[in-house]
Each structure stands twice: as C-alpha cells, then as structure tokens.
Amino acid sequence: MVYLKTDDEIELLREANLLVGKTLAELAKNIKPGVTTRQLDVLAETFIRDHGAEPTFKGFPNPYGPEFPASICTSVNEVVIHGIPNDIPLKDGDIVSIDCGTKLNGFCGDSCYTFAVGEVSETVSNLLRVTKESLYKGIEQAVVGHRIGDISYAVQSHCENHGYGVVREFVGHGIGREMHEDPQVPNYGKRGNGMQLKDGLCIAIEPMITYGSKDIYLLPDKWGIVTRDKSISAHFEHTICVRKGKADILSSFDEIENLIQR
C-alpha cells in the first residue's frame, strides 16, 4: 500500500528529516581517530531526545534475532549497513557510515552519510564521492511521471561505470508515519520499469555501494552486513518527496558539509 502525502504531512516529514541532518552534523564534529562508535551513539540519542524526538532505530525489531540496541547504525569500512555501535576506536583512514532515524510528531526521518575518519586515500574518497553522486543522480529521476526503475538505473549505472558493486539485498523505501513503507526503491534496475511516481510520494533513496564484489553476508550479531571480500563500502541516503520538475529533498547534508568542507 502506497500512501501519498499531503503538503502538511510533507512538512512534518521535513522536520523529522532535518533533525536527522542536525544529528549527523553534531556527530560530524566528533568523528576523529580514537572516538568509539558507542560514544557517537550516546551523543546521537541524547541529541535526538533533547529535540523532542525518538530515535526510531532503537529497539527496531529483527525477525532473525535481537532488537537493534542503539540509536544509530555505525558501519565501519567493510561493514555495509546496520553496524551496531561498539567500543573499538575509529582509526585514521577508516570510513564510517552513520545511518540515523528519528520520529518527530508522528513522522519519520531517515538519512545516512559516510564520513572519512582523519585522512583517507584517494581510492577511498573516490568511492565516497561516486556513491554520493549516484544518490543525487537517483534523486534527479524522482519526478512525476518517471518510474522507480529510472531511479534504480541512474544509481546502478553511475556506480557500475566506476567499477563498483551495487548491493542487491537491501533497498530504499517509502517513508511516512512508518520508517519503511511501500514502495521498495532498489539501487539496480531498468529504465521505465516499476511503479510510476506521483506527486506527494515520499521515499528514501539509499545507494549501498562496494569497492569490490557486491556480495555480502550477515554477521553473527544478526544485524551487521559485511562485504564477502572485505572491501570497503559506502552508504548515502536522503529522504525525498516526488514533485513535478524537481524532487524536494527533505533531509539535508548542508550542516554536515559546512563542518567537513567537502
């Protein structure tokens, strides 16, 4: 069931998503060698609750194991998504994808940014750049009259043209009162395929891209998803609303990028 949102609902979604951007920016100030992802999780939960919202990820159900124990997913290097925060300090040259979800006034925010820790190699920064570019290429396709497959194709072709892998098992999604609504938004697909996009459709687009093979496996903690060949992986996500002419991006990287000057 796909729920198109009213303009009032879209503004509530925007508020929840802007809070995610602010939370990620707050974390960006603290991402440096020596910091643990558990410390970042504590900062995130405090920041979200101080702004009157709930961290949607905390206690998120898992059909295969325990609920998610933290307020953010922190996926370091070869971890693609759903990394559980831990006590291992981040090192110079690492990358960490921080996925964050909020619920504010009944609506959900969902956005992810992959950060470089200290100095990273050109190989690594290229993966981050191309993954983020693919997100915006997908967003360019998110206009009335296009189809889900147009978004999927734009993401996949950009990343594969650079020789990167596109994870198939996890996808973007509709978003609203629930964090995961219909439709699914895969990062691979064919132009002209899938559901036609209508004004007011709100979706999260979230390329999960690997430097090497696209093959993944599930960690014994039943959450973390890791590349099979241990190559690094990047993940960028925006929540957007489909509009005529140009998508409306409801989340924001502006505050993050003012801080990290990328």
Q: Which residues contribute to the site for Mg ion (CB under 5 A)?
A: 99, 110, 112, 204, 237
Q: Which is nearer to Mg ion, 89 or 183 (CB)?
A: 183
Please, what is the minimum distance in Å from the beta carbon of residue 110 to Mg ion? 4
The CA-atom distances, in angstroms, between 79 and each of 86, 93, 170, 191 are: 13, 15, 13, 29
Q: Which is nearer to Mg ion, 82 or 137 (CB)?
A: 82
Q: Which is nearer to Mg ion, 33 or 255 (CB)?
A: 255
Give bridge partners of residue 210 from the DSSP assignment.
165, 233
165-196-136 Cα angle (round to 5): 40
Please, what is the minimum distance in Å from the beta carbon of residue 92 to Mg ion? 26
Q: Which is nearer to Mg ion, 204 or 247 (CB)?
A: 204
- List Cβ neighbours of 105 (8 Å cut-off, separation of 6 or more): 12, 15, 16
Q: Is 152 in a helix, a strand, or coil? A: helix
Please, what is the minimum distance in Å from the beta carbon of residue 173 to Mg ion? 6
Please, what is the minimum distance in Å from the beta carbon of residue 78 to Mg ion? 19
Please, what is the minimum distance in Å from the beta carbon of residue 44 to Mg ion? 13
Q: Which is nearer to Mg ion, 20 or 124 (CB)?
A: 20
Report residue 88 as tokens: 């291992």
The number of angstroms, rounded, from the C-alpha of 22 to the middle of its chain's C-alpha atoms is 15
Please, what is the minimum distance in Å from the beta carbon of residue 36 to Mg ion? 21
Q: Which is nearer to Mg ion, 45 or 99 (CB)?
A: 99
Give the H/E segment covering residue 139: helix 122-140
Q: Which is nearer to Mg ion, 178 or 215 (CB)?
A: 178
DSSP string, 45-81: HHHHHHTT-EETTTT---TTSSPP-SSEEEEETTEEE
Please, what is the minimum distance in Å from the beta carbon of residue 135 to Mg ion? 12
CA–CA dist 150, 194 (Å, integer): 9
CA–CA dist 228, 211 (Å, integer): 11
